[in-house]
Amino acid sequence: MSESTTDHPTTHEVSAEIARSWLLVAATRPESFDAAERSRADQIILDVEDAVDPRLKPAARDSVVEWLSNGGSGWVRINDRASDFWSDDVDALAGLPGLRGVMLAKAEAAAHVSETFDRLKGITPVIALVESALGIEEAVSIARARGAYRLAFGSGDYRRDTGTSADDLAMAYPRSRLVIASRVGNLPGPIDGPTVGTSHPVLREQGGMAVSLGMTGKLCLDIEQLPIINEVISPTRSDVAWAREFLNDFEARGRVIRDGSDLPRLGRAQKIDKLARAFGVEPA
């Protein structure tokens, strides 16, 4: 979306509801947690699921618990509801002062989300990571589940489950399903899966495709990806200029709605202005 932005706000000033960049950090590397928190990521996710060998999961979980208990702050990607690790994950994390929320791997049913939310004392938001054909099929019920905060797309596992290629056309359907489910469930826009590598053109292309479909965030695998993803998913400076001009004119005419097109334009202008202020984007 964006042509340019100003300096990134202080880490985690951007609300998770509208966060663009979600940096995945392997829980086996506790020495990297502080650097991730200081990075340009809107939110960080300490990963005790895919990034961790099953034999190392207890130790990795302990490292996350220690960091979140001693001043660290972030989200945690936990193991899926059907796994042998889920129960220990939620019990260890429940009530930790630095826990912002959890990302539930391989969400395939509303009950997976609600049971996770309940075990976390009913106060911790749950991002449902949808990674399979069944998860895509159940996306609406998942989005409506008690405790659901946002949906996210596990694109790599989805491709492995379905045999789908990484082609934009092939991947448009599951992404669109998550966008529609998020709207039906009254959730913020979903978070797209990660892009491998740090090639700026590829990041811009794939980020732009996700935005065009209605996604409003993206998982990131490397700190080097963050500035590009934040830029692509922010409003453009020209859009901000249009929004501010429209809103100023709207106030000047006494907030009078002139015709049927004014209301949708007002809604769009207000949304752009809100995001621009949150992300520090100035008009052209």
pLDDT at 8: 43
**Could you give the CA distance from residue 26 to residue 50 in angstroms, rounded to a whole number?**
9
Q: Is the pTM of this model over 0.85?
A: yes
Intervals of the chain under pLDDT 50: 1-11
- The predicted pLDDT at position 259 comes to 85
Distance between CA atoms of residues 9 and 282, nearest Å: 13
Q: Single out the residue of 38, 45, 42 nearest to residue 16, CA to CA.
A: 42
Of the candidates 207, 174, 276, the one whose C-alpha atom is nearest the C-alpha of residue 22 is 207
DSSP 103-134: EETT--SHHHHHHHHHHTTT-S-EEEEE-SHH
CA–CA gap between residue 270 and residue 250 (Å, rounded): 11
Token code pair at residue 209: 């495709």
> Are the C-beta atoms of residues 20 and 279 closer than 8 Å to each other?
yes
- pLDDT in the model for residue 25: 98
Angle, helix 226-233 to helix 200-213, in steps of 10 degrees:
30
Token pair of 268 as six digits:
């769009």
Angle, in degrees to the nearest 10, between helices 237-252 and 262-279: 120
Buried b (16+ CB within 10 A) or exposed e, 83-116: bebbebbbebbeebebbbbbbbbbbbbbebbbbb
pLDDT value of position 9 = 44
**Residue with tokens 């042509």, as numbered in its chain:** 3
Residues whose CB falls within 8 Å of the CB of residue 254, separated by 6 or more in sequence, listed in order: none
The per-residue pLDDT for 240 is: 97
Chain segment 65-119, per-residue pLDDT in tens: 999 999 999 999 999 999 999 999 999 999 999 999 999 999 999 999 999 999 9
* Residue 80: closest CA among 44, 122, 50: 50
pLDDT at position 24 is 98
Quick one: which of 98, 49, 105, 48 has its CA closest to 74?
98
